[in-house]
Amino acid sequence: MIITIITFIIVFGILVLVHEFGHYYFAKRAGILVREFSIGMGPKVWWRRSNGTTYTIRILPLGGYVRLAGTDEDEDELRPGTPVTLQTNEEGKVTLINASEKETLLEGIPLRIVDSDLEDKLIISGYENDDEETVKTYPVDHDATIVERDGTEVRIAPKDVQFQSASLPARMMTNFAGPMNNFILSLLVFIILGFTLSGIPTNSNVLGGVTKDSVAAKAGLVSGDKITRVATTKVSTWNDISQAISPNPGKKLAVTYQRDGKTYHTTVTPKATKQGSQTVGMIGIREEEKFDPVARINYGWRQFITAGTLIFAVLGHMITHGFSLNDLGGPVAIYAGTSQATSLGINGILAFLAMLSINLGIVNLIPIPALDGGKLLLNIVEGIIRRPIPEKVEGILNLAGFAILMILMVLVTYNDIQRYFIH
């Protein structure tokens, strides 16, 4: 169980880190201030500030986020009446605003706020030392920081470094970058899996090997032979061969094959073999494999496409056949899946990580407000109407989308607990 928990935290952490780094990297490139990059949720356990961004690790390893200037609501920290402590530079500009009771500025200026504008005018006004006869106004440095109530120090968010100040293409790329990174991670992990395999199945109709003294060997088949027909069925792939032989244990089958450009005929009687509760026919042949790097990379690409196709098929089924909570899975389902993947070793964990990553990327692109797909949809609408969507409208849509997601998360989590832990 401990190994499963550790694996779950690592897998979930990698998914979140890669996703959020996509948003972070392209926001930075666009000149958007990333106020905080957090791994985990809840109370912080560690933080450090560098190059204008505060990096935090929080206690719950479930999720993470980047706070982009102009997309968070931190002005509530400085409502009128809020007591703060100011730190100023030699020019008299405020360089730090302490709004936390957890941190103390020994040489700070105590101020009870009357008004503040940290976006345009960059000023803060209030009663110094609780002297309510005089309102003092201080200019605020463009790169000043604020210590929030939980003790985290982040940059203020002037208008010129806010998300909406970036160009529309830059904002769209920032929104898309999270899912894009998940796709890249998934593809890379599938390729890595290709390099862990002893050989890459080609799914061709060429025999990669024939077991000694097997049915196939006694029928004259050897490695390199190309099977073109089994009984009355033409075959061109390994799947075709398997589907022609497996359902016929004990039945005599005619086989046509090619060797050195010549066509030959023989017969085989598949040996009845138990596989679980089924009896299948086997003749002792192995699929052809390739071992070169190109084949391994192609294997990763094929697995990536197959995984994506499967996820789209599931989403399409949900749309056409009705929605069910059993079609969805939250952190509890991921934990249960992690347990199964861990039992399969490192390859099982890698395959699980790759599937989760592409799943996360695709689901995040669903055009629901509060998801990256919803944000991209609003960007597209903005490009069509050639003007920004009103902040109130966007705020209401995002709030509604967030509420729907939270309700859905609670229902999915409850359903997952019922499915996996309550019998």
In order, the DSSP letters of 91-158 are TS-EEEEE--SS---TT-EEEEEEEEETTTT-EEEEEETT-TT-EEEEEEEEEEEEE-TTS-EEE---
Strands 200-201 and 153-155: unpaired
Is there a catalytic annotation at residue 20?
yes
Tokens representing residue 136 in the block = 């003092």
- Catalytic residue, candidates 20, 36, 77, 148: 20
**Are the beta carbons of 249 and 279 closer than 8 angstroms?**
yes
**Are the beta carbons of 235 and 204 closer than 8 angstroms?**
no
In order, the DSSP letters of 168-202 are HHHHHHHHHHHHHHHHHHHHHHHHHHHHHSSSEE-
**Are the beta carbons of 165 and 70 closer than 8 angstroms?**
yes
Distance CA 193, CA 183 (A): 15
Which residue matches tokens 């990059």?
A: 37
Distance CA 299, CA 373 (A): 29
Closest CA to 74 of 146, 165, 123: 146
Tokens representing residue 202 in the block = 């080609």
Positions annotated as catalytic residues are 20
